[in-house]
C-alpha cells in the first residue's frame, strides 16, 4: 500500500508539473481552487512532504503582476541578488504600498506577495529554495547594506538614544522597542516584529478558539526614518 501511495503521489505531481509547464492558464485555475491545500500539505507533519510539493507553489509577483512559480522567480533573479524577497500581507494592494518595499524596488528586484494566513508558516517550513534563503522584507535584514552603512546606522542609533527611549516610554507596552530604521527611504515610520512570532502569525492565532493560541503575541518594534522631516520635528 505504501508503494502504491508513493507511486500515485509521483504520478499526480508529474501531471501537475506538466500542466504548469504546458497549460499555465489551466494550472492557475487548479491553483486558485486547491493551492491552499498544497500549502497545508507542506506544513503538515513538520514538512514531511515539502520536497514533493514545493515546485507546485506559486505566489503573486510584484513585477509580473500575476502568479509565478518559485523556479521562475529564481531563473529571473539578477546575478547580484542573493535572497528571495517576500512579504506577508492582507492583500496585494497593501503589499504594493509597504514602505519597506522601496529599497527592493529601487534595486529592480522582484517581491513575492503572500496573502493567505498559512503563507508565513509555509516559508518558515521551507527556509530556502534551492539553497537561496527567503527574506521577509518587513522583519529580516534585506542584505543590501555595506558594512560602512551598517556602522553608520549603529552610530545614529546611539546618537539618538535619548529620543528613542523617550518614544518607547510614551508608547509603553504598545511596542517592545524603538529603533532607527535601515530600510526606510521616503516614509517616516513603520512597524515590524522581533523574534519568531510575526505580526501576521499573531493575526492567525488570534482568531482561534484556543485561549493559549490567542495569547501568542508578536514583539512589535517601531522603526523611525532618521532622514525624514518628521523625525527632525520629533527631535525638536
Q: Report which of 77, 92, 82, 190 is spatially closest to residue 134, judged by C-alpha positions.
A: 82
Residue-wise DSSP of 147-215: HHHHHHHHHHHHHTHHHHHHHHHHHGGG-SEEEE-SS-SS-SEEEEEESS--HHHHHHHHTSS-HHHHT
State the pairing for strand pair 177-180/58-61. unpaired
Q: What percent of the chain has pLDDT over 90?
A: 72
Rounded Cα–Cα distance for residues 149 and 135 (Å): 19
Assigned C-alpha cell, 189: 515610520
- Say what the pLDDT of residue 208 is: 76
pLDDT at 190 over 80: yes
Condensed to tens digits (0 to 9), the pLDDT of residues 79-137 reads 999 999 999 999 999 999 899 898 899 999 999 999 998 999 999 999 999 999 999 99
Return mean pLDDT, the chain: 92
pLDDT digits (tens, 9 = 90+) for 151-171: 888 889 999 999 999 999 999
Under the banding of pLDDT at 50, 70 and 90, the label for residue 70 is very high
Does pLDDT of 177 surpass 80? yes
Per-residue pLDDT at 184 exceeds 90: no
> Could you tell me the pLDDT band of residue 74, with boundaries at 50, 70 and 90?
very high
Closest CA to 164 of 147, 177, 182, 151: 177
pLDDT at 143: 87
How would you class 73 by CB atoms within 10 Å of its CB: exposed for 0-12, middle for 13-18, buried for 19 or more? buried
Q: Once rounded to an integer, what is the mean pLDDT over residues 18-39?
A: 96
pTM above 0.85, yes or no: yes
Q: Is the pLDDT assigned to residue 196 strictly greater than 80?
A: yes
Residue 182: all three cell numbers together: 535601515
CA angle 79, 75, 82 (to 5 degrees): 40
Let me know: does 182 contact 145? Beta carbons within 8 Å: yes
Residue with cell 519597506: 100
Per-residue model confidence (pLDDT) at position 153: 80
The whole-number average pLDDT for the span 173-177 is: 93
Q: Are the beta carbons of 104 and 79 closer than 8 angstroms?
A: no
Crossing angle of helices 161-171 and 147-159, rounded to 10°: 70
Residue 200 has pLDDT above 90, yes or no: no
pLDDT above 80 (res 211): no
Strand pairing class (111-114; 128-129)? unpaired
Detail the DSSP E strand segments found in the chain.
Answer: 58-61, 67-69, 84-88, 111-114, 128-129, 132-136, 177-180, 189-194, 219-224
Amino acid at each position: 500500500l505504501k508503494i502504491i501511495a508513493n507511486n500515485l503521489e509521483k504520478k499526480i505531481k508529474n501531471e501537475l508539473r506538466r500542466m504548469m509547464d504546458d497549460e499555465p492558464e489551466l494550472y492557475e485555475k487548479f491553483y486558485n481552487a486547491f493551492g491552499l491545500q498544497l500549502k497545508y500539505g507542506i506544513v503538515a507533519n513538520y514538512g514531511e512532504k515539502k520536497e514533493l510539493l514545493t515546485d507546485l507553489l506559486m505566489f503573486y509577483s510584484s513585477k509580473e503582476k500575476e502568479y509565478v512559480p518559485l523556479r521562475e522567480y529564481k531563473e529571473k533573479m539578477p546575478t547580484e541578488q542573493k535572497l528571495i524577497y517576500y512579504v506577508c500581507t492582507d492583500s496585494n494592494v497593501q503589499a504594493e504600498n509597504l514602505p519597506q518595499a522601496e529599497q527592493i524596488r529601487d534595486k529592480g528586484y522582484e517581491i513575492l506577495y503572500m496573502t493567505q494566513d498559512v503563507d508565513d508558516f509555509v516559508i518558515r517550513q521551507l527556509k530556502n529554495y534551492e539553497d537561496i534563503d527567503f527574506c521577509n522584507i518587513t522583519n529580516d535584514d534585506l542584505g543590501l547594506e555595506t558594512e560602512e552603512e551598517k556602522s553608520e546606522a549603529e552610530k545614529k542609533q546611539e546618537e539618538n538614544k535619548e529620543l528613542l527611549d523617550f518614544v518607547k516610554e510614551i508608547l509603553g507596552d504598545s511596542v517592545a522597542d524603538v529603533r532607527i530604521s535601515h530600510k526606510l527611504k521616503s516614509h517616516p515610520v513603520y512597524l515590524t516584529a522581533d523574534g519568531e512570532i510575526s505580526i501576521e502569525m499573531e493575526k492567525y492565532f488570534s482568531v482561534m478558539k484556543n485561549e493559549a493560541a490567542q495569547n501568542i503575541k508578536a514583539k512589535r518594534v517601531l522603526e523611525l526614518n532618521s532622514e525624514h522631516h518628521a523625525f527632525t520635528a520629533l527631535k525638536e
